[in-house]
Amino acid sequence: MSLVTLAVVSILFGAGTYLILQRMLSRVVIGLGLLSHGVNLLIILAGSRPGEPPIVGDHHAAAGVVDPLPQAMVLTAIVISFGVTAFLLALALRSYLLTGSDAVEDDIEDRRIGGTDVDKVAEQEETSA
Amino acid sequence: MSWMLPAVVAGPLLAAGLTLLSGRRLWLQRVITLVGVGGVLGAAISLLVAADSGSAQVSQMGGWAAPVGITLVADRFAAIMLTVAAAMLLLVLIYAMAQLKSDALDWWFHSKYLVLTAGISLSFVTGDLFNLFVGFEIMLIASYVLLTAKTGKGEIRATMSYVVINLVASTLFLVIISFVYITTGTMNLADLSVVMADVDPAIRSGLSMLMLVVFGIKAALFPLFMWLPDSYPTAPTPVTAIFAGLLTKVGVFVIIRTQTLLFPHDGPSDLILFVAGATMLVGVLGAIAQNDIKRILSFHIVSQIGYMIMGLGLFSFAGLAAAILYIIHHIIVKTGLFLVGGLVEAEHGTGALDRVGGVLHRRPAFALLFLPFALSLAGMPPFSGFVAKLALVQEGLMLDRGIIVGVSLLVGLLTFFSMTKIWGAVFWGRETEATGDAGFGMVGATVLVVALSLSVAAFAGPLADLAARAAIDILDPSIYAGLVLGVGG
């Protein structure tokens, strides 16, 4: 059971990392979403063995009951990542409206250091647009 | 009095809600925000007085005793940080109110600023690793909005990378939280410090390094600082000033807290000293290459973080005391420098070195405000930076760490050089046309920051004693554990 979960966690992390390294902002947003799903699963995994639900009537025996703390933490983390994803989407939309493209441009300074003629590139971009 | 601990977090959040309810009635928003941030400062000062007189306040949320419940603690170190941070938040708020006076976007500013205050307070006083994550997130989400609210086409790329990099760091933080929980089964920092001692040393140093990486991103350590100089200069001056003064220092605070509390070292750590040296050097070299006031100053944030981490890396009583003194000095000076830079920008419409000049003739007062900050940043006597740097250098020599001391002195010299670059271009040179006018409130707030910075130098003795007492607390984890768990100590 936990081996399967672990495999899912690693797949989510792998795919998330791949997407974050893309140029398209929409993919970055999805990548971050996958990463946060992966980490949420990982925290649940930290609760170790499966067991009874932690809230059952009035029985107080701790044995056989799953650790409730990771679940509480995951709930918090889910809410936070939900809010942040919404904000990030708004920001990506803003970027799209401002620049007319979903792709993240190179840093101008990086281009300069890389030896690219910045003005020429800007000119080319203008003519192609 | 322990009710003040939740109050420094809940108060600003409540005030943020009230500012939203007050709609576009600006005067009401301002009153609420001033009361909110002022209240945090008042509470922070009384928490500091209590902590320093030996009755540090601890508050267990929901009445659940530690380590089950969430603990808020204001020991000396946390209370010092909270007090300095709250003082800066209040002064920058006054500056911001004066600057944003004529701005139509003014109404959104106050609630975000209050949320930022709450997040910073929570990060300082929390005694729980997961709660620290929550504090970070509150602070960061407010910072995302403050940073991006006014970006145009030119800046959206830099702010986007700020947001994405911080989100990745937050995800890594959660990964560490789950690793720590798998290893120890607890989140309470005091409890962790007890349990961590029994953990396999290999796992422990792994966790320690992972934490250094995550908080290193927040604190802009070498080689994880690249997001900072790009994104900070894009925001309006008050926002940049408060970010520069406080946000990275929250990261430094957490690095010091976790490294000393959870992973106590016996002697100086070569790895941390190397990171410190590289951070100093790369930051200052980056600053020299820049051509804009705010960008120069942003690279100096990175460089100065190195000094604080150097104090931690020495892992000695005097080294940590020097680091604390350095943080106090740095928060004030860095915020002040950005405020002066903002004054120049407000009058000339730009901070580019080649387009502003002769400010000394037009506004001698600005030069007078800039000078103590610049000299202090470079570590010239008799300003506050000198006191803090002297303490670091002395301790470094005492522990026979000549290389890092040499690097730190060289970086001091280079810092001085890049300050003269700003001075030569902006304050001397041909006078340029002014397009605006910095208001009385902006100048007044900056004067207050200068006064605070000078009083750090004037009261260096008592402050160094206070930092020394805080360093004793930090170096002995059982004091913190005793405070929270009510045993030992």
Given this model, what pLDDT does residue B114 score? 94
CA-closest candidate to residue B476, choices B201, B261, B208: B261
How confident is residue B432, by pLDDT bands cut at 50, 70 and 90? confident
- Is residue A59, in this structure, part of any structural domain at all? no
Q: What is the ipTM of this complex?
A: 0.85
Q: Chain B 181-210, CB below 8 Å of chain A: which residues?
A: 181-182, 185, 187
Give the mean model confidence (pLDDT) for residues B457-475: 90
Q: Which of B61, B138, B167, B234 to mutate to test the interface with A (most CBs of A within 10 A)?
A: B167
pLDDT digits (tens, 9 = 90+) for B370-387: 988 988 888 888 888 888
Q: In which residue are the tokens 């750590």 written?
A: B269
pLDDT digits (tens, 9 = 90+) for B355-373: 888 888 888 888 888 988 9
- Cβ contacts of A70 on chain B, cutoff 8 Å: 178, 181
Of the candidates B156, B164, B170, the beta carbon closest to that of A94 is on B156
How confident is residue B147, by pLDDT bands cut at 50, 70 and 90? confident
Give the mean model confidence (pLDDT) for residues B160-169: 90
- Is residue A22, in this structure, part of any structural domain at all? yes
Give the mean model confidence (pLDDT) for residues A85-108: 83
C-beta separation of B480 from B265 below 8 A:
no
- Cβ contacts of A46 on chain B, cutoff 8 Å: 178-179, 181-182
DSSP secondary structure string, B416-456?
A: HHHHHHHIIIIISSS---------HHHHHHHHHHHHHHHHH
> Is residue B82 pLDDT above 90, yes or no?
yes
Give the mean model confidence (pLDDT) for residues B407-411: 91
- Cβ contacts of B163 on chain A, cutoff 8 Å: 87-88, 91
Per-domain residue ranges of chain B: 4-485
Q: Average the pLDDT over each of B125-139, B195-209, B426-440 and give the range with the smallest value.
A: B426-440
Query: Where in the sequence is the domain holding A77, given as residue range(s)?
Result: 2-54+64-128
- The pair phi, psi for residue A102, each rounded to 5°, is -85, -15
Instruction: State CA B457 to chain mean position distance.
Output: 19
Of the candidates A28, A88, A98, the beta carbon closest to that of B152 is on A98
> Is residue A63 pLDDT above 90, yes or no?
no
pLDDT digits (tens, 9 = 90+) for B216-228: 999 988 888 888 8
* Cα separation of the two ends of chain A: 53
Give the mean model confidence (pLDDT) for residues A71-83: 90
pLDDT digits (tens, 9 = 90+) for A23-56: 888 899 999 999 999 999 999 888 767 777 766 5
C-beta separation of B133 from B214 below 8 A:
no
User: What is the enclosing helix (H) or strand (E) of B161?
Assistant: helix B156-184
CATH number of the domain residue A97 falls in: 1.10.287.3510
Q: What gap in Å lies between CA A55 and CA B396, rounded to an integer?
A: 55
Mean residue pLDDT of chain B comes to 88
Of the candidates A42, A94, A99, the beta carbon closest to that of B178 is on A42
Please report, rounded to a whole number, the percentage of residues in chain B having pLDDT higher than 90: 42
> Is residue B71 pLDDT above 80, yes or no?
yes
Radius of gyration of chain B (CA): 21
Domain count, chain A: 1
Q: In which residue are the tokens 């470094």 written?
A: B396
Given this model, what pLDDT does residue B35 score? 93
Q: How many CB pairs under 8 A join A and B?
A: 82
B138: nearest CA partner in chain A: A80
Given this model, what pLDDT does residue B100 score? 67
CA-closest candidate to residue A81, choices B51, B158, B336, B141: B141
Q: What is the pTM of this model?
A: 0.91
